Structure 1
Amino acid sequence: MDWLNGEAFTAFGQHIKWSDMIGNVIGLLALALGWRRSIWTWPAQFLSGVILFAAFATSHLTGSAGKQVVVMAVAAWGYWQWTRGRQQAQDGSIAVRFATWRERGYLAGGAVVGTLAVGGLFTLYPSLSWDPWPDAYIFVGTLVAMVAQARGMVEFWFAWLLVDLVGVPLNFANGFAFSGFVYVIYGALVLWGMRDWWLRSRRSGRPSLEGAPA
């Protein structure tokens, strides 16, 4: 596995690692598959998590490494959720919708409480992370985004945008330049995917902004 953390090439004065490049290319593919509502988004996210875990674990970015463990666990759960959803749908497709206000409250509250808890842990134990609060924000934000995606909520795209705002500078600052570049592409895909899911949610006829059970 040592070659994964070796240098692939240098671009714009930044050293690009193999693990950083391969893991994020697969992650980019996973996001594109999610936009297309393909169930293969989840195996792709799982594989990306495995590779990026190897990258971040060797760089003392415990939050980012832990995030990949969460990515793998939620990817397995998301695959099960979407498989079940396809079986229940008459046309075999994945239905998407806006979250209810209650669900939004759960997502936002979980993000705040989770970030405070994880950031506090990293602050108490500095050896776990060099950047405790941004690292905690990314860790929890990714979990929130993937849970929303697994439930078919349009809000998962908004969550990814908020994660990207911190993820880009953090990755550049810690030597993961390819991650930083890819996150910029993520931003464009997120905006495109957000529009597509929003339009599909309106056509689906499912409850959107309020009134639907959690």
Structure 2
Amino acid sequence: MDIFSWLNTPAFELLGRPVPYSDLFGNVFALLTVVLALRRNILSWPVQILGSILLFSASMSAGLGGNASRQVVIVAAAIWGWTQWRKSKAESGSVTVRWASRKERVLLIVALLAGTALFASILHIWNLSWSPIPDAYIFIGSLVAMYAQGRAIVEFWFVWLAVDLVGIPLAVSGGLVFSGAVYLIFLVMVIIGLRDWARRSRQTASSPYASASDLRAP
């Protein structure tokens, strides 16, 4: 048995549904990614890449083409975000977080809505998903969140929260029960991360030593 076949064999059962190793380990790395992002640790990006590779395999085995496509693009987005954080750390010694401007918030919302509509149409036409709208929403929402995360914008936590709320029922319906359970854990971690980044953003903005370069996006 090769590694790819083994990854999609059941590790155990949860609520009567098999949990493949790819789903198990992929979500473990996904949880670790959130923990590292909360700490603004640059290792969150390579960990996310590894987790996405595993979740790609799990999604394909579950017939979720949109979610599988999402993992491919997430790898590319993670590479971009990794370079952004490395650049920020090189310039200021740390990753400085901030709230988005009004224009940035509007662009994030438009990208989320328009992107979801477009990608849902593609999934439907090519018959790549049995639930194209939620599948597309998670795909586009993840990209929007990762873009905002790469820019160290606090609002990225709100986007992840919305993705989690849709991801829970979709994962369970697709047979990925373990992924659905992990999404519940994500909800708690996202709220913690949002509060932490919001606090750090206020501290940076109110610091008398903060320069203009400290407040700009990386």
Return the TM-score normalized by structure 1.
Answer: 0.93
Aligned pair partner of 2:14 in 11, 22, 32 = 11
Change (3 A) 1:213 1:19: closer
Corresponding letter in the other structure for 1:118: F
Partner of 1:31: 34
Give 2:88's aligned amino acid.
G
Unpaired runs of 5+ residues, structure 1, are none
Counterpart Cα distance in 2 of 1:179 and 1:51: 12
8 A contact 2:171–2:179 mirrored in 1: yes
Determine the structure 1 residue equivalent to 2:156. Answer: 156
Q: CA, structure 1 residues 73+213, in 2 after alignment: closer, same or farther (shift >3 Å)?
A: closer
Counterpart in 2 of 1:192?
192
Equivalent in 63, 73, 84 of residue 66 of structure 2: 63
Structure 2: gaps (5+ residues) = none
| Counterpart in the other structure of 1:125 | 126
* 137-146 vs 56-65, greater mean Cα deviation: 56-65
Separation (CA, whole Å) in 2 of partners of 1:177 and 1:11: 7
TM-score between both structures, scaled by the size of structure 2: 0.92
Which of residues 10, 20, 23 is equivalent to 2:23? 20
Cα deviation digits, residues 72-113 of structure 1 (max 9, x gap): 001100000000001111xx1100000001000111001111
For residue 99 of structure 2, give the secondary structure of its aligned residue in structure 1. Answer: coil
Structure 2 counterpart of 1:68, one-letter code: Q
Distance 1:118 1:187 in 2: 25
Taking the aligned partners of 2:62 and 2:183, their CA distance within structure 1 comes to: 19
Match of 1:100 in 2: 101
Report the Cα distance in structure 2 between the residues aligned to 1:85 and 1:200, rounded to whole angstroms. Answer: 16
Give the letter for the 1:12 counterpart.
L
1:62, CA displacement in angstroms?
1.0
Find the aligned partners of 2:166 and 2:152 in 1 and give their Cα distance: 24
Distance 2:34 2:184 in 1: 13
CA RMSD in angstroms comes to 1.7
Aligned to 1:77: 80
* 2:177 aligned partner: 177
Identity %: 45
Q: Secondary structure at the match of 2:12?
A: strand
Alignment-derived partner of residue 140 in structure 1:
140
Specify the SS of the correspondent of 2:18: strand
Distance 1:125 1:213 in 2: 38
Q: Given that residues 30 and 48 in structure 2 are in contact (C-alpha distance below 8 angstroms), is that contact kept between their aligned partners in structure 1?
A: yes
Q: SS at 1:58's partner residue?
A: helix
- Aligned-pair CA distance for 1:12: 2.6
Residue 35 (structure 1) shift: 0.3
How far off its partner does 1:213 sit? 8.7
